[in-house]
Structure 1
Amino acid sequence: MAIILIVAVLAGAAGGLLSWLGGSAVANAILTGAGSFAGTVILLLAIGYFLVGEKP
């Protein structure tokens, strides 16, 4: 779980930073980073459940 959150924070920060450097407003860059974070968490949790074979 901790690895998933670390990877998701890095992906969210990278997404927000790249969006901000691309010319988006700060608020839009924050929303982009949050979307990247949420998408990464959902994807990695789904992969983890698939590999372990547990049902939520």
Structure 2
Amino acid sequence: MLIRLLLKHPGYPLEDLVTHEFPLEAYQEAIKANAERGAYQSVKTVFRIFDPSVPE
């Protein structure tokens, strides 16, 4: 279903789907969030590989 939406609207902001961000050091918690989606209410989790405090 989601793929149909994305194909119809290629400019859809995918970052809106991200519900959880983790630094690489917290990979175990990220895996747990994906495995226990109901408990974490996660949709899409991603790893943060850049320091968000540093402007691009």
Normalization by structure 1: what TM-score?
A: 0.25
User: Quick check: which one's strand share is greater?
Assistant: 2
TM-score by length of 2: 0.25
